[in-house]
A and B are shown apart, each in its own frame.
Chain A
Amino acid sequence: MRKSRRRRPHGGTGRRRADATTPLCLALPKPNRKAIDDGHPCITIAGQEWPIPPLAPRQNRHVVAALMRMGGDFFAHYGDLVDAVFFALTRAHPDLARSEFEEWPIPVYELTAALPVITKQTGWLKPGKNSTTEPKPPDFDAIIAEVCNFRLGTTEEYWEDNLTGARFEAMAEEWRQRPPLVTLISAFLGYKPPPTEEEAISELFRLFPSGKISGSPTMH
């Protein structure tokens, strides 16, 4: 039977050099075998394959924001590149310590090669969606609040680890076809939420763009 040998963190096959010093002697933790067997896509980091299951808000809060900040400039945003990969790894390896990860021998090309898989696994960043406005990361607190409102009995903490992009899309589609009772009752009663403080102020500025109350307001 073919035995595959994994590369050690110092880039060799396990033979330790006589002059090897502290940071090079770290052993990598084992990748999550169950996640690999479940067929999740893998990325190669420090010469070893790591599974990346669909990410939950706990990871996406960091990963999506880092990917958006980075744009296409990996070198100037190296910190964001490392953030995105580290937090993506914590989905299947929650015990992975940041201080430990910082010592792994990771060439830049491994990090950049991992990005397409990580981007796909966020579930929130779709390629080809070109918008004229500057993209903003999703408001995960608001999304979780919405789901909790419609799925009574569930907690924010539960969805923090279980609300993947695909699952939310499926729920949104279900609610579109068969709206939850609370939505139907709101529509029946003609309920409209009161404006937020921000909305009220922006409406005032829209009506009085010069900032002066004298004169007639601008109506659109």
Chain B
Amino acid sequence: MLKAVETQPFIAPPKVTLAGAEYEIPVLAPKQNRIVVPLIDSVFPKIENARRKSFADPADEKKGVVAYRWMVELVLNGAYDDLCAVTHAALTRTLPDLTRAEFDDWAVDTFELLAAVAVIARQAGLIRDVVTATKPSA
């Protein structure tokens, strides 16, 4: 009879794409989470508020101004700064020498930041994945 797999399979850390390059985000440590956790807690309502405001008028969607307005709202309500702070803090896990000033000079797309925060929230342990171990092939 086959026994259940006793060891955790090696799982490569997920990657985020920033400024067109890929970066691994391993499980974060308290050093990073100290910045990441409170900010993520407050940034999601801000993102949602900005989205709600931007999508308020369906006519704008046809004109293609929704995405632009969303960006503006994110900057105005401080969510953009929070997103940058969260992403920078998470990157310092693998790039401890990366300064915020350096990161601020990267050509990072706002949608890249939004996508990165979802990965970071998972790696901070705010979202828990149920991993079902599979027996590795011999």
The residues of A with any CB-CB pair to B shorter than 8 Å are 2, 4-5, 7, 10-13, 15, 17, 19, 21-24, 47, 75-76, 78-79, 82, 101-111
Contact = CB atoms under 8 A, between A and B. Distances in A.
Contacts of B38: 75-76, 78
A107 B30 contact: no
Contacts of B95: 21
Given A24-B94, A75-B126, A103-B31, 11 more contacts: A10-B26, A21-B94, A23-B96, A78-B37, A82-B33, A102-B29, A106-B30, A107-B27, A107-B123, A109-B125, A109-B128
B29 A104 contact: yes
11 contacts: A2-B6, A4-B6, A5-B6, A7-B8, A10-B26, A12-B8, A75-B41, A76-B38, A101-B30, A107-B28, A108-B125
Contacts of A82: 30, 33-34
Interface of B: 6-13, 24, 26-31, 33-34, 37-38, 40-41, 93-96, 123-126, 128
Contacts of B128: 107, 109
B10 A24 contact: no
Contacts of B126: 75, 108-109
Contact of A11 (B6, B13, B34, B96): B13
A107 B93 contact: no
Nearest to B29: A103
A106 B37 CA distance: 12
B10 A12 contact: yes
B40 to A, nearest CB: 8
Given A75-B37, A76-B41, A78-B34, A105 B6 contact: no
Contacts of A7: 8
Contacts of B31: 23, 102-103
Contact of B93 (A23, A75, A76, A109): A23
B33 A11 contact: no
